[in-house]
């Protein structure tokens, strides 16, 4: 198995990406391909200890910056570290790519370079929201598709189910629908129609879920359009960062607070670890013909290593093949239903 890492992508690249690659090789024994400026990568690797037979460098001359327009960057910067990595996945020379670079460009590249799975209308980005049980709730979609149809949410749901089973080892994932109330019939037309279609799927559908309950782990994946999902994601991130900052400020403002903080130091560390995105790797782009993992832009080496582990499980779990299988089953089911309806009309 080979995992390609976009060595030049991310706020802390190439230091963090190369550190993550070395950590992954040493811990998982995986073969890694680094795409980027060969001279810079080799210089960064000089002080590292790792099995050199496990690492390959593919030289590229361009970098897609965060300020670049996603689609234009993918099309014009053909020799970028991200583009080169995506091409390796497309050509089956790598099983998955990990990138902490421009999110929009990675989504566009996943769609236009790696390509959609036949039958998938729109791929979805699925970041994990930390919850109070010490795990994550998968958010599908986290921002790739602002406008959706019920068909899209149905596909997001069963792709999430497969990912949770194969990568996160959850036997019977609970799938929820983001809504403004838990009662059946709540929400706009998209949510109402999606609710009834999701009920028909062979999934552990737990119904509507309000945003305030996501952190309480009432479901393993929450399905929504990307506009709603991105607001939910950014709100959770902002609240977590603000709360941790406020606690630190208050505890450090007095001697009594400092003593209390010292006594609770281990507990605070445990809470911070539970809410830390670096513990959970990256966000998979589900619905494309290969593993595409978006790591957080500010990822350090530890986070990149965890994202590589996620990519290993994605490729080893045959996630793409299972999505193709479910699509075929749904297509056959829809065809049978249509034939039955036509027969019923004929009998009348």
Cα–Cα distance list, 28 to 2, 10, 81, 240, 304 (Å): 12, 22, 23, 31, 13
Task: Write down the pLDDT at residue 274.
Answer: 61
Check whether 87 has a pLDDT greater than 60. yes
Task: Write down the pLDDT at residue 237.
Answer: 82
- Alpha-carbon distance of 126 to 293, in angstroms, equals 9
pLDDT confidence tier of residue 18, bands split at 50, 70 and 90 = very high
Check whether 346 has a pLDDT greater than 80. no
Tell me the average pLDDT across 113-125.
94
Q: The whole model's pTM is what? A: 0.88
Render pLDDT for 288-325 as a digit per residue (tens, 0 to 9): 999 999 999 989 999 999 999 999 999 999 999 999 99
CB contact burial 295-329 (16+ within 10 A = b; e otherwise) = bbbebbbebbbbbbbbbbbbbebebbebbbebbee
Task: Write down the pLDDT at residue 348.
Answer: 63
Name the segment(s) of the chain with CATH classification 3.40.718.10. Answer: 1-115+288-317, 127-280
Check whether 277 has a pLDDT greater than 60. no
Task: Write down the pLDDT at residue 339.
Answer: 65
> What does residue 66 show for φ and ψ, rounded to 5 degrees?
-65, -25
Name the percent of the chain lying above pLDDT 70. Answer: 93
Task: Write down the pLDDT at residue 210.
Answer: 95
Cα–Cα distance list, 261 to 23, 132, 258 (Å): 32, 21, 5
pLDDT confidence tier of residue 329, bands split at 50, 70 and 90 = confident
To the question of domain 127-280 being in CATH 3.40.718.10, the answer is yes
Strands 136-140 and 128-130: antiparallel
Tell me the average pLDDT across 52-63.
96
To the question of domain 1-115+288-317 being in CATH 3.30.460.20, the answer is no
Render pLDDT for 122-148 as a digit per residue (tens, 0 to 9): 999 999 988 888 788 999 999 999 999
pLDDT confidence tier of residue 150, bands split at 50, 70 and 90 = very high
Q: Which of the residue ranges 12-21, 127-136, 207-216 would you say has the lowest mean pLDDT?
A: 127-136
- Alpha-carbon distance of 230 to 222, in angstroms, equals 12
Render pLDDT for 217-269 as a digit per residue (tens, 0 to 9): 999 999 999 999 999 988 888 887 888 788 888 888 888 888 887 887 777 77
Residues in the chain: 348
- Alpha-carbon distance of 329 to 249, in angstroms, equals 55
Cα–Cα distance list, 247 to 15, 129, 133, 217 (Å): 31, 21, 21, 24
State the chain's mean pLDDT as an integer: 90
Task: Write down the pLDDT at residue 239.
Answer: 82
> What does residue 208 show for φ and ψ, rounded to 5 degrees?
-70, 145
Task: Write down the pLDDT at residue 213.
Answer: 92
Render pLDDT for 22-43 as a digit per residue (tens, 0 to 9): 999 999 999 999 999 999 999 9
For residue 80, give the nearest of 102, 104, 64, 97 by alpha carbon. Answer: 64
Task: Write down the pLDDT at residue 238.
Answer: 85
Render pLDDT for 164-206 as a digit per residue (tens, 0 to 9): 999 999 999 999 999 999 999 899 999 999 999 999 888 999 9
């Amino acid at each position: 198995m080979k995992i390609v890492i976009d060595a030049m992508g991310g706020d802390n690249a190439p230091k963090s990406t190369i550190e993550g690659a070395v950590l992954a090789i040493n811990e998982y024994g995986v073969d890694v391909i680094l795409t980027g400026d060969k001279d810079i990568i080799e210089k960064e690797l000089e002080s590292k200890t790792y099995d050199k037979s496990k690492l390959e460098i593919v030289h590229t001359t361009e970098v897609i910056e965060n300020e670049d327009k996603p689609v234009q960057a993918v099309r014009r910067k053909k020799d970028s570290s991200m583009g080169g990595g995506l091409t390796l996945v497309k050509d089956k020379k790598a099983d998955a790519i990990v990138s902490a670079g421009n999110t929009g460009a990675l989504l566009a590249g996943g769609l236009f370079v790696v390509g959609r799975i036949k039958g998938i209308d729109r791929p979805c980005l699925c970041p994990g929201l930390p919850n109070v049980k010490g795990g994550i709730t998968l958010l599908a979609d986290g921002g790739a598709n602002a406008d959706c149809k019920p068909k899209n949410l149905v596909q997001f749901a069963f792709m999430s189910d497969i990912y949770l089973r194969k990568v996160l080892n959850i036997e019977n994932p609970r799938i929820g629908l983001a809504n403004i109330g838990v009662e059946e019939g709540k929400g706009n037309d998209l949510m109402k129609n999606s609710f009834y279609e999701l009920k028909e799927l062979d999934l552990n559908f737990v119904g509507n879920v309000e945003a305030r309950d996501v952190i309480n782990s009432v479901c393993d994946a929450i399905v929504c359009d990307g506009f709603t999902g991105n607001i939910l994601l950014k709100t959770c991130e902002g609240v977590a960062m603000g709360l941790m900052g406020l606690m630190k400020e208050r505890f450090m403002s007095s001697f009594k607070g400092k003593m209390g903080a010292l006594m609770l130091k281990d507990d605070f560390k445990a809470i911070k670890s539970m809410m830390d995105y670096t513990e959970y790797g990256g966000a998979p782009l589900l619905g494309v013909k290969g593993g595409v993992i978006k790591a957080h832009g500010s990822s350090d080496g530890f986070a990149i290593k965890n994202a590589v582990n996620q990519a290993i499980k994605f490729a080893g779990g045959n996630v793409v093949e299972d999505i193709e299988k479910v699509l075929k089953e749904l297509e056959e089911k829809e065809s049978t239903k249509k034939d039955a309806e036509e027969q019923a009309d004929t009998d009348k």
